[in-house]
Structure 1
Amino acid sequence: MATAQDSKRIRPTPSTSQRAYSQLREQLLRFKFLPNQKINEVLLASDLEISRTPLREALNRLAAEGLLIDRGRGFSVPGLEPAVIFDLFEARQEIECAIVRLACTRAEDAELDSLSDFLEASMAESPDASVDRLMELDIGFHDAIAQMARNAVLRQTLTNLNDRVHLVRWIAMEGRRDRTQAQHLEILGHLRARDETAAMAAMRNHILHRNEDIMAAIKSAYGHVYTRDTS
């Protein structure tokens, strides 16, 4: 006779799948898996202490978002193929330009004041702040503008693109704090002036877009994850 515990494992609640999704997404963004690594579902289910059904639901969701690749008979972590990364950054650039254009006309003055306060607090962060913290602040800045654009689809698309290039962005962020902050202030100034053309130009320049810079970040990203894994 099935016990209550067995029933829970046979009929997993949505919260179980959601928990697995959230944990795996965080691990993927924290580089716990190597590029092109195959996912061992048996070990992963054991580590997460869940059954294969909610795990498979979480894996399918992550694959739909581009954070995993469905190989038909299993899942793997995406690689860092230059052509794919270039496309993702190009898409991010176009999405961010559309967002800042809309924000120029839709943002409320109070929201721009709040963004100014956010940037002031960001610049007051310790010089020893980790790259993870700098990434958190950078994402917060861009997400605030996305909220001002009043377009949920664009905002969700941006979130997904950021997730998919997280490792390369993380690498590229190193040593760019002063430049990033100066560019954020410039973008904010154009938003306050409601100057769509200038805001889009500043945003386009702000986002990593030169092929040689992206390629250098990809090479550094590979070095980072493999050194970290074997150290």
Structure 2
Amino acid sequence: MSGFALHMLFDVFAWAAAALAALWLTRVEKIAFPPVTTELGYVAALVLGAGTGAVLFGTLNMIVSGVPAVARSIEGAIAGAILGVELYKQATGVTLRTGARFALPLAVGVAVGRIGCHLAGIEDFTHGTPTTVPWAHDFGDGIPRHPVQLYESAAMAAFAGVYVINVLNRRAFWIDQGFYLAVGVYGLQRFVWEFLKPYGTILGPFTVFHLLSVALVVWAGFMLATAPADHGEPIRRGA
């Protein structure tokens, strides 16, 4: 199977694993997450934002790296989805925090999806820089490199494990604010791994994804710092 086909297959696995993770917590474990809006506009903003962010940041990174090609980025998708949803809520007056139930799906989706990136080989351009560490991997060009995709997969899998333990113990903070924890952890670990990637820099030693990671961490920190003390029903301005 080609690297492209493997990547696409694991993209499907990632989506399926994310959906199953969400269903398991809500339907099997009966975790009572804060209510979420199902308005068509909200869903459209999420999907459009994710798609736009994925292509915009993925392609920008390729251009900065001297490879003029269209690409997709999971970090760009996360940032785009967040921005799209926040703009929609601002425009419609929704003050409900809607991310809680997406924490585990995000972590599981990234953990599974990055395995596909690893298996896709050198053409996927998600590999690490050359290294002599014992676990280095040859992605097809004869050069041992950091398997940074697996580093990211392991980091998010570890977060998923810690998150599940806390949620199954019905710890309200993790249930209500877990999405912001997931985004913050994702941004932090991604910032570190970016130093082990062959991407072009855009500001000093920092790549496009370094800067995007910082933005995600700042946003997550702000949302955690401003989290309401209680966890009441959603409200809408003007209601």
- TM-score w.r.t. structure 2 length? 0.27
The structure with the larger Rg is: 1
- TM-score w.r.t. structure 1 length? 0.28
Higher share of residues assigned helix: 1
